[in-house]
């Protein structure tokens, strides 16, 4: 049964069916087409939403949001996206796939280089260590940076978009994404880092991302076969950004669990640190606050 998509303003629905093929082209078969204002939102046979090229010239803001909602993004996720990110996702198309967040950890690396995992039982103790370090660094000590309960000024999350198969139909194509946002002034503006790491047996073929409103990434390091990390300068008034990597996964792994790790660090100084990346593992060494988590999904899933 064909799935119907309902978006903000739907003027017409038409059905477009094409002959089936025995290769990957079968996935391009049209299932449902809707008109949102003057632009088409088309669902393909495999559940993906067909891309619209140059959406910045063709879609109004509400139309972009409707398009992303058709891709399974919720209102909160859409509200945190910059216009640049919306345009990028719409121009690639696809369908957002459900993921589970696992092993979420907030931690702090102190001046001695020791990493402290933070939970309810030791928050006060770690906070005191942090305040002592901030005093040693000459940094104001009256601001709370991050909170895993959503009450801090930093938020991070992972998401996944299925974007189709390769031309030979031997690999699935996914976009692994890590989003982050600052709702207010960070305690200190330094060079932050965000990164992702994936399991062995899959292939990264390119990464991109940005931190807005005014700063782009200083660099994206794709030297590891297991992951990627990017550097950028934080602002003194908040901001948001994302890191996205296209990943190829053999079709032979369909039905098994896919996994990728996300990590973020906000250093308290500009002393350079390192990134250690392995299968589904990424560790930053800088002094400061860190967040990390894993995102799991079923390979081959389109919902």
Q: How confident is the model at residue 155 (pLDDT cuts 50, 70, 90)?
A: confident
pLDDT of 81 higher than 50: yes
For residue 141, the model assigns a pLDDT of 60
For residue 272, the model assigns a pLDDT of 83
CATH superfamily membership of 100-109+115-298? Mu homology domain, subdomain B (2.60.40.1170)
Q: How confident is the model at residue 14 (pLDDT cuts 50, 70, 90)?
A: very low
pLDDT of 66 higher than 90: yes
Pure H helices in the chain: 55-58, 61-70, 75-79, 83-92, 123-137
Q: What is the mean pLDDT of residues 233-253?
A: 86
pLDDT of 32 higher than 90: no
- Strand segments, DSSP code E, in 149-251 are 154-165, 171-182, 191-198, 203-212, 219-221, 227-233, 239-250
Summarised one tens digit per residue, pLDDT across range 221-240 is: 999 999 999 988 876 566 78
pLDDT of 146 higher than 50: no
Q: What is the mean pLDDT of residues 88-97?
A: 96
Helix 61-70, helix 83-92: angle, nearest 10? 50
Rounded to the nearest 5°, which phi and psi values hold at 24?
-65, -20
Residue spans of the domains in the chain: they are 10-95, 100-109+115-298
pLDDT of 29 higher than 70: no
For residue 148, the model assigns a pLDDT of 35
For residue 165, the model assigns a pLDDT of 96
pLDDT of 19 higher than 50: no
* CA distance linking residue 61 with residue 3, whole number of Å: 25
* CA distance linking residue 168 with residue 243, whole number of Å: 27
* CA distance linking residue 123 with residue 279, whole number of Å: 30
pLDDT of 133 higher than 70: yes
* CA distance linking residue 96 with residue 227, whole number of Å: 21
Q: How confident is the model at residue 11 (pLDDT cuts 50, 70, 90)?
A: very low
Question: Considering only 38-47, 84-93, 172-181, which range has the smallest mean pLDDT?
Answer: 38-47
106/22: higher pLDDT: 106
- The label of the residue with tokens 């003194």 reads 236
For residue 203, the model assigns a pLDDT of 96
CA 258, 92, 264 angle in degrees (round to 5)? 50
* CA distance linking residue 45 with residue 135, whole number of Å: 59
**DSSP track, 238-270:** -EEEEEEEEEEEEGGGTTSEEEEEEEEEEESS-
Q: What is the percent of the chain with per-residue pLDDT over 90, rounded to a whole number?
A: 56
Question: Considering only 96-100, 235-239, 249-253, 274-278, which range has the smallest mean pLDDT?
Answer: 235-239
Question: Considering only 5-14, 72-81, 199-208, which range has the smallest mean pLDDT?
Answer: 5-14
């Amino acid at each position: 049964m064909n799935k119907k998509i309902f978006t903000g303003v739907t003027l017409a629905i038409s059905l477009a069916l094409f002959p089936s093929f025995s290769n990957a082209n079968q996935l391009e078969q049209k299932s449902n087409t809707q008109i949102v204002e003057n632009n088409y939102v088309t669902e393909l046979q495999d559940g993906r939403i067909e891309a619209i090229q140059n959406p910045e010239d063709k879609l109004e803001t509400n139309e972009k949001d409707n398009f992303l909602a058709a891709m399974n993004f919720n209102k909160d996720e859409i509200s945190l996206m910059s216009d640049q990110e919306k345009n990028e996702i719409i121009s690639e198309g696809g369908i957002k796939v459900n993921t589970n967040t696992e092993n979420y950890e907030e931690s702090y690396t102190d001046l001695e280089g020791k990493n402290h995992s933070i939970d309810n039982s030791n928050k006060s103790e770690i906070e005191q260590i942090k305040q002592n370090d901030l005093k040693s660094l000459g940094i104001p000590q009256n601001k709370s940076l991050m909170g895993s309960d959503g009450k801090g000024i930093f938020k991070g999350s992972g998401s996944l978009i299925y974007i189709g198969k390769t031309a030979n139909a031997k690999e699935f194509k996914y976009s692994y994404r890590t989003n982050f946002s600052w709702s207010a002034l960070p305690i200190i503006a330094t060079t932050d880092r965000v990164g992702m790491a994936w399991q062995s047996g899959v292939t990264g073929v390119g990464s991109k991302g940005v931190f807005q409103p005014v700063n782009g990434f200083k660099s994206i390091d794709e030297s590891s076969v297991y992951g990627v990390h990017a550097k950028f300068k934080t602002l003194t008034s908040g901001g948001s950004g994302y890191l996205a990597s296209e990943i190829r996964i053999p079709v032979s792994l369909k039905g098994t669990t896919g996994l990728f790790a996300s990590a973020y660090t906000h250093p308290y100084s500009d002393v350079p640190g390192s990134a250690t990346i392995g299968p589904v593992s990424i560790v930053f060494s800088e002094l400061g606050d860190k967040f990390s988590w894993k995102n799991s999904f079923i390979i081959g899933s389109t919902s």
